[in-house]
Amino acid sequence: MRRSAFVGEAAGRVNLIGEHTDYSGGFVLPVAIPQRTRVEVRPRGDDTVRATSGAMDEGRRQAYILGEDRAAGGWIDFVQGVTRVLRDSGHRCGGCDISIASSVPIGAGLSSSAALEMALLRAFRDAFRLPLDDVTLVRLGRRAENEFVGAPVGIMDQMAAALADERTALFLDARTLQHERIPLPESLALVVIHSGVAHRHAAGDYRTRRAECEEAAARLGVRQLRDCGIEDLARIDGLPAPLGARARHVVTENARVLEAVTALKNGDVERVGTLFNASHASMRDDFEVSVPDVDRLVELAWDEPGVYGARLTGGGFGGSIVAAVRAGSAAAVARRIASRYRDATRRAPAIVVPPAA
């Protein structure tokens, strides 16, 4: 007899602006992308978890016993991490068969991992009747990625996967989790292109940047870099290299997020584009998380008529760019940028937004 399936879904996200600020208690502004992750969970009645993913391992099944989970360095770690934090938090979670389907690009800086975590948690919530709201699921998803997978991410990705949609930006205070939906102006469209350079949050460079931010905050005598403002830049510039540059990025990026929110509310899409450009320069020069091919992709976008601004989005060291473009031009602009990038780098870019491009 076939057991009932409980379904959970969550979208990927593109962060419009506010990069490497969430783990310093700062501000972020993500929006959902059309690509989603869908998870089906069928309870088994024992302690065995069996999972298949159509996007990974050619659909081969992986399995483990609850309580005997061990990080293996693959996609199954995200499943194990979710069941581990549920059980460690006192929530009943039994064995099950899991089927995962996802159109969120992997390694593109678009939160494929958070989409998987939130889809899993939503399916488990229904399958095992867990009394958990979405914000609690967000915290559990972040714990799974931080504590089990070993990726020191902030909380933006899980919040976006749980709460963001495609036509409003999610203005999030990462310290308090207070959030506001900011409608995107009708005159603005988005282009998202994956550079073809994959990134991993669990890799050493991301971890190093977070540690540098924490050391900079300690030297400045504050809890987090969120507690510094533009008025502190002279003091920040007195920090030893590279701490001053890392802190300068976070402080100025927080200010750019706040200004971008105002610009979106005012329909000032040209100002939004200018802020995108300044954000990319800061990520490239102060935070040093871009790479040459991503810089090239951004520069090609800057050269394109109808583009207000463009920047690296996500954790960096590869991944995708986001461009603010004139409404009605997104598909054509995306194709031209991707074609010129392919010719210049011999890489295979992927147009993520708009999906039909």
Q: Work out whether the CA dihedral 128, 131, 137, 141 comes out positive or negative.
A: negative
In degrees and rounded to multiples of 5, residue 220 shows phi and psi of -85, -5
Reply yes or no on whether 303 is catalytic: no
Amino acid (one-letter) located at 145 = E
Tokens 């976070």: give the residue: 250
Tokens 């979106």: give the residue: 264
Count of Cβ atoms closer than 10 Å to residue 37 Cβ = 27
Are the C-beta atoms of 36 and 101 separated by less than 8 Å?
Answer: no
Q: Which residues, at least 6 apart from 282, have a Cβ–Cβ distance to it below 8 Å? A: 248, 249, 252, 253
Furthest-apart CA pair in the chain: how many Å?
A: 69
Of 22, 18, 307, the C-alpha closest to 182 is 18
Count of Cβ atoms closer than 10 Å to residue 208 Cβ = 13
Task: Give the strand order in the sheet containing 188-194.
Answer: 307-313, 320-326, 188-194, 350-353
Tokens 């502190």: give the residue: 232
DSSP 4: P
Q: Work out whether the CA dihedral 304, 307, 309, 311 comes out positive or negative.
A: negative
H helices present in 99-169, as ranges: 112-127, 134-143, 156-163
Catalytic hit among 22, 69, 77, 157: 157
Count of Cβ atoms closer than 10 Å to residue 152 Cβ = 16
In degrees and rounded to multiples of 5, residue 345 shows phi and psi of -120, -15
Residues recognised as catalytic = 157
